[in-house]
Structure 1
């Protein structure tokens, strides 16, 4: 029996009931389940977590039915991350190791040596630690850079979600031929509620609205989108925003007020459940992904899956994932502001200038190129090739 040991620590964030997990936790959880489902004959998956108390290990393991067993490292997550960042292999398993992030035991063990005890594959989701370190905080950015440099030295392969990330990462650290592009997908939990009309009424959804997700982190482009909502092209259509209303003291509601928008035109929804997000996507007149930098652009893919007309920035990852199935907006153009360009693109959807029927068909067709089943199979194939 060949065992793939998946580091599942990042997959078990502890949100409130019904609230969506963070992007990393969603990725790690979905990929881990996909690895279990895609295990070839004669292969199984073992889960590795940081130290846990009492029934916490059983609760974490229960999220991944089909895993053969679970083990824990002797350190809690923060201590484990610190130890592994210094080259310690405390708590490190042997054999095939797959990490859905950079949280992995990366240390010298003779990568080409017969005495090597482990094959380690890690994941780099984006290059925000280099391009927008303030978005994640200096400490996490520094840790990410340190672990990426360790991965360049000691990992057997590095998974990235897009060719855009692969190219940008290669300009920053020497990776050679060890990078493999394996995109993600959308969660099977992203389904409509049982009574969508009742839920829509309960949420107080407008008859027509534009949807986006993000915070006032400058990287997300939400500030420009709020300014766009104040322009005539937006036709006074309400803008609903999923995500944090307060990013380091900057609030979406205050940005809307400063843009001169009346109360209620921009509505922050906070975190929402998967079923509520599905409902929002299914009823939005357009979904806008204005971020200035992305690793994958899950929100854009989710919009494509529901056939929601997509307006997105020309960030390379967005262009790659959308594949021409959305309306691209240049982040930089000396002739107009980003807000003006976003407003014009959204306005073309709202006034019917854009062929929304074609965008719906193209979007759903493009979304079929991404699935967690395919991702899991590609990860197994990568380990087999190594």
Structure 2
């Protein structure tokens, strides 16, 4: 049955979002995505609709934290079980059910069960990557097992799968055969990502050198390219460093710096101060990091993968290996016109991505279902 509530004597249709990830420290990127998307859903709610949240059993302080980070929730449903137990129960369609109606999950963490979409019940999940299938060496075995089991359950019970790129949609369909249920809805820059007047002070506090490139993904190809371009004085700052590069990024002798988790203002300061942003992660299927660099008018050099080419839309410069990256880095240093062209193209490309547009498309998806 349709999830509806009475508010001030008015019948409201409620979209309930699984916002539990904002309370877990293991995935800052997912926490940001969840908070940014949910705030945008609240801001764009159609007339007669509102947004509620779903979390696992939580303390009063945790509930207050969610409500502070996502103001405007019509309600916040708490399961009776803690998160670990809920994760197992929902995989099996058991216990701690938040009921029917429209449910949207920014991940694969969702209450999977048999339901009747004709009565207004629907469950939509989100897939951001396929590392649990393609790069199991990067994830704990428990995470791999949970994601695989969750996708298997979602394949049976989810009404739609949201993915950020067509490249990921194709790979997900090849893996799970759910092409008819996939909807491509891009991400957007994190809320609060803007250059501030104290950028120099922020970079100094983070211990950054004056001349550097900002990097996501493996730094070894970037280091090789800098050496080949005879740019050994240019430092490497590893942003959102995954486990495979954490040791490299923390090694002072490597020429790379890992500033660790950053708030939006610090992240913007690091990007804005970079000579260029280099997306070297060939496992990145969302391209959010590119979008953020574009938004700050930072020249973007990116790996020539299908996902990054799709997100860049020719606003960045693609490289296949260290040699081609070296040539691009030389151009960024020596060719002011090339660099300015990347800045202008990136700023223009960034206008294609906003949380308001993303949220509107999520509302439209649930309406279509």
Q: Same fold (TM over 0.5)?
A: yes
| SS at structure 1 position matched to 2:76 | strand
Equivalent in 85, 109, 112 of residue 106 of structure 1:
112
How has the CA–CA distance of structure 1 residues 124 and 200 changed in structure 2, closer, same or farther, with 3 Å as cutoff? closer
Residues 137-191 of structure 1: CA deviation (Å, up to 9, x unaligned): 2221221122112212111111111101100100011214111100110123112
Tell whether 2:142 aligns with 1:136. Answer: no
Q: d(CA) in 1 for partners of 2:301 and 2:55?
A: 39
- Residue of structure 2 equivalent to 1:163: 166
Q: d(CA) in 1 for partners of 2:153 and 2:338?
A: 48
Equivalent in 9, 13, 38 of residue 20 of structure 2:
9
Tell whether 2:345 aligns with 1:355. Answer: no
Aligned ranges 1:50-89 → 2 under 5 Å = 50-89=56-95
Q: d(CA) in 2 for partners of 1:12 and 1:230?
A: 42
Equivalent in 256, 259, 268 of residue 258 of structure 2:
268
- Residue of structure 1 equivalent to 2:9: none
Please, what is the CA RMSD of the aligned residues? 2.2
| SS at structure 2 position matched to 1:120 | strand
- Residue of structure 2 equivalent to 1:312: 302
Equivalent in 340, 355, 358 of residue 372 of structure 1:
355
Runs of at least 5 residues in structure 2 that lack an aligned partner in the other structure: 1-11
Runs of at least 5 residues in structure 1 that lack an aligned partner in the other structure: 16-20, 214-219, 331-337
Q: d(CA) in 1 for partners of 2:328 and 2:56?
A: 46
Contact 2:194 2:296 in 1 (8 A): no
Residues 43-76 of structure 1: CA deviation (Å, up to 9, x unaligned): 0111111001233213322221111111101111
Normalising by the residue count of structure 2, what TM-score does the alignment of the two structures yield?
0.90
1:226 deviation in Å?
2.8
Contact 1:193 1:276 in 2 (8 A): no
Aligned ranges 1:259-338 → 2 under 5 Å = 265-330=255-320, 338=321
Aligned ranges 1:184-195 → 2 under 5 Å = 184-195=187-198
How has the CA–CA distance of structure 1 residues 208 and 65 changed in structure 2, closer, same or farther, with 3 Å as cutoff? same
Greater fraction of residues in helix = 2
Q: d(CA) in 2 for partners of 1:138 and 1:266?
A: 29
Tell whether 2:213 aligns with 1:238. Answer: no
How has the CA–CA distance of structure 1 residues 139 and 199 changed in structure 2, closer, same or farther, with 3 Å as cutoff? closer
Moved over 6 A (4+): none
- Residue of structure 1 equivalent to 2:325: 342
Normalising by the residue count of structure 1, what TM-score does the alignment of the two structures yield?
0.86
- Residue of structure 2 equivalent to 1:207: 210
Tell whether 2:121 aligns with 1:118. Answer: yes
Q: d(CA) in 1 for partners of 2:165 and 2:324?
A: 26
